[in-house]
Structure 1
Amino acid sequence: SSLVGETIRIRGIPFEVIGVLAEKGSQGFSNPDESLYIPLSTAQFRVMGSDRIRSIAVQAMSEKTMDDAMAEIDLKLRREHRLRPEEPADFNIRDQASLLATVQETTQTFSLLLAGIAAISLLVGGIGIMNIMLVSVTERTREIGLRKALGATGTDILLQFLVESLVLCLAGGTLGLVLGVGGAAVLQKLMGWTMVVAPEAIVVAIAFSASVGVFFGIWPARRAASLAPIESLRYE
């Protein structure tokens, strides 16, 4: 690399670059490609000003030998810390598998939390749509009576209001989908994150919007379909 042989300063102390490691990519909240490695004693006494070590990163020879490596590290640290076998360890040993499990558990918790928020939002939005459709039925009572007088059946009126509710929800779902995809694109551009909108998520979002429209539009549609033609025409 072109950096080899160059001099950089860390807290005002000059260091000579003697090598550059291969890229490994981001690992969650940490990025090893943005790390600098300097001699331990130099870091302790000249850079950090402390001889305490908070963490040690160890790489096993292979995934199969990881458990053996952890057991060996545990035995070594217990000897260095003068701990008896029955005494609890005053250190923690974590492997990538446990970290991955923790991340997955946290992700699942956030997914459930977001699903709960989305469910509440759908419920509130559905109730709002139902109220709007009920008001629409009341305001269009004469129209419903006129259509029935001209030969429209209760099924025709039912389908009319169900379609209106369905279209209303699909329009809202499409708008939310556009905002979500647009927000993901903006975050990807501004924050440099890699974000992909799965096609399945788009299908599920549209299907949920349609389901909300049908479910909360049934009562107003049935109420409109059950109106008597003569009473509807007399409605003021």
Structure 2
Amino acid sequence: MQTIRMALKSIKGNKIRAILTMLGIIIGVASVIVMVAIGQGSTKTVQDQIGSLGTNVLTVRITGSDVTFKEKDANQLEKVGGVSATAPTVSGRITAKNGQTNTQVSMTGTTSSYLDVRNLKLQSGRFIADLDNDNHSKVAVLGSDTAQTLFGLADPVGESVLVNGTSYKVVGVLKSIGSSLGTSGDSTIIVPLSTGQRLAATVNIESVYVKVKNENMMNFTTSLMERTMRTLVGDADNYSVSSPEDLKETAASVNNTMTMMLGGSAAISLIVGGIGIMNIMLVSVSERTKEIGIRKAIGAKRGNILLQFLLEAMMLSSLGGIIGVGLGVISAQLFTLATGTAVAYSIPVIVMSFVFSLFVGVVFGVFPANKASRLDPIQALRYE
């Protein structure tokens, strides 16, 4: 108890030095907590966005540049066991204009089943019909952002927009679905597949969204889909079949790697903070050499001296760790308020950061504590 009191007295006697000594630990712990919270928050956000696209929807993409895959080939996928509907698509970037207002948005050419397969809702009007596709009709369904940009608060249904300079009749407006994987789902125009192929200057299908009847049969249906695609296009390098779980795992893997890198970089400052503690403790040993000599002369054992200096280092690092945890949590909240980005706290990471800060104090406090405990009392008393 006496040793603890003496350690506390020494820290209180040099408050500015103690604060500067703890600064490295505080910054290190706070940085680790903030970086990991941001990384895990991003992972959760991406996974939620992927989940919102539908947990029973497979995405078949044509990846081979020289592969021919037309609408009749895409229709074959609807015959695969376990499939309830398919929606072939082509995409591109187009310029949409109404009066003096124009905007660059993504274009999706697709069929009537797209609305159900992608679980979209209409705000007003109707969606693309099979007859529109058969007749190559120049009709369009606007995403909510596109509608607001071009028409403001007015209802655009029945009005016309210029798509790459050609007039298209607006037949519907979609309800907002927000952003997904960094791309706004509301800044878009949907046209019939045949019309979209003309706008994209291709006769091929780029991707097919496949709705599976039973969510529990996703893996089995995926295997059947891959077998069918192998029959249709041959080499597996020419296509990909992905499920929401695949996308979630990929996103989580990428985000976890980035989180580890950021957290590791932030943890380096903990090591730097530990070196700062060792440096200050060595200075403290030099300044208090005479005090150490007096204590040894009146009977203090080597273990008492070692414990005192080790406790000082541990107190500095643990106090820095506590302040760092508080600062990290507050900083993460401020980041959320400033950017609107979600964060996710990890209790194990917070506890581990504090324990690591304590460990750093012990490791870097041992050397100066050991040096103090080995001082010869006679030489220490003569020290000026």
Q: TM-score range by the shorter chain?
A: 0.7 to 0.9
Query: CA contact under 8 A between 1:173 and 1:206: conserved in structure 2?
Result: yes
**CA deviation after TM superposition for structure 1 residue 2, in Å:** 9.3
- Determine helix, strand or coil for the equivalent of 2:238: coil
Which runs of 5 or more structure 1 residues have no equivalent in the other structure? Answer: none
**CA deviation after TM superposition for structure 1 residue 137, in Å:** 0.6
TM-score by length of 1: 0.76
Output the amino acid matched with 2:358.
A
Give the aligned partner of residue 250 of structure 2: 102
Query: CA contact under 8 A between 1:78 and 1:89: conserved in structure 2?
Result: no
Instruction: Give 1:3's match in structure 2, choosing from 107, 112, 123.
Output: 123
- Determine helix, strand or coil for the equivalent of 1:196: coil
Q: Which moved more, 1:216-225 or 1:149-158?
A: 149-158
Instruction: Give 1:61's match in structure 2, choosing from 172, 192, 213.
Output: 213
**CA deviation after TM superposition for structure 1 residue 49, in Å:** 5.4
Aligned-pair identity (%): 37
Report the Cα distance in structure 2 between the residues aligned to 1:54 and 1:212, rounded to whole angstroms.
55
Output the amino acid matched with 2:257.
T
Give the aligned partner of residue 193 of structure 1: 341
- Determine helix, strand or coil for the equivalent of 1:93: strand
Report the Cα distance in structure 2 between the residues aligned to 1:19 and 1:123, rounded to whole angstroms.
53
Higher normalized strand content (fraction of residues): 2
Give the aligned partner of residue 206 of structure 1: 354
- Determine helix, strand or coil for the equivalent of 1:56: strand
Give the aligned partner of residue 141 of structure 1: 289
Distance 1:158 1:88, change over 3 A: closer
Report the Cα distance in structure 1 between the residues aligned to 2:308 and 2:162, rounded to whole angstroms.
72
Instruction: Within 5 Å, give how 1:55-134 maps onto structure 2.
Output: 55-74=207-226, 76-78=228-230, 81=233, 83=234, 87-134=235-282
Query: CA contact under 8 A between 1:26 and 1:33: conserved in structure 2?
Result: yes
Report the Cα distance in structure 1 between the residues aligned to 2:293 and 2:239, rounded to whole angstroms.
79
> C-alpha offsets along residues 17-41 of structure 1, whole Å, 9 cap, x if unaligned?
26648x6x87654575776654323
**CA deviation after TM superposition for structure 1 residue 165, in Å:** 0.9
Q: Which moved more, 1:211-220 or 1:148-157?
A: 148-157
> C-alpha offsets along residues 5-24 of structure 1, whole Å, 9 cap, x if unaligned?
43276858552326648x6x
Instruction: Give 2:304's match in structure 1, choosing from 136, 142, 156.
Output: 156
Output the amino acid matched with 1:15.
V
Distance 1:167 1:89, change over 3 A: closer
> C-alpha offsets along residues 95-122 of structure 1, whole Å, 9 cap, x if unaligned?
2232223223323433443454355433
> C-alpha offsets along residues 67-120 of structure 1, whole Å, 9 cap, x if unaligned?
443344445545654x4xxx4452222222322232233234334434543554
Give the aligned partner of residue 316 of structure 2: 168
Report the Cα distance in structure 1 between the residues aligned to 2:225 and 2:309, rounded to whole angstroms.
70
TM-score by length of 2: 0.50
**CA deviation after TM superposition for structure 1 residue 220, in Å:** 0.8
Q: Which moved more, 1:48-57 or 1:224-233?
A: 48-57
Report the Cα distance in structure 1 between the residues aligned to 2:171 and 2:186, rounded to whole angstroms.
18
Give the aligned partner of residue 15 of structure 1: 170
Distance 1:205 1:89, change over 3 A: closer
Q: Which moved more, 1:53-62 or 1:207-216?
A: 53-62
Query: CA contact under 8 A between 2:336 and 2:342: conserved in structure 1?
Result: yes
Instruction: Within 5 Å, give how 1:18-57 maps onto structure 2.
Output: 20=175, 28-29=181-182, 37-46=190-199, 48=200, 50-57=202-209
Report the Cα distance in structure 1 between the residues aligned to 2:223 and 2:271, rounded to whole angstroms.
52
Query: CA contact under 8 A between 1:7 and 1:14: conserved in structure 2?
Result: no
Distance 1:78 1:214, change over 3 A: closer
Distance 1:201 1:78, change over 3 A: closer
Instruction: Give 1:217's match in structure 2, choosing from 349, 353, 365.
Output: 365
Distance 1:70 1:30, change over 3 A: farther
Distance 1:190 1:57, change over 3 A: farther
Which runs of 5 or more structure 2 residues have no equivalent in the other structure? Answer: 1-120, 126-154
Distance 1:225 1:112, change over 3 A: same
**CA deviation after TM superposition for structure 1 residue 64, in Å:** 3.1
Distance 1:125 1:52, change over 3 A: farther
Give the aligned partner of residue 106 of structure 2: none
Higher normalized helix content (fraction of residues): 1
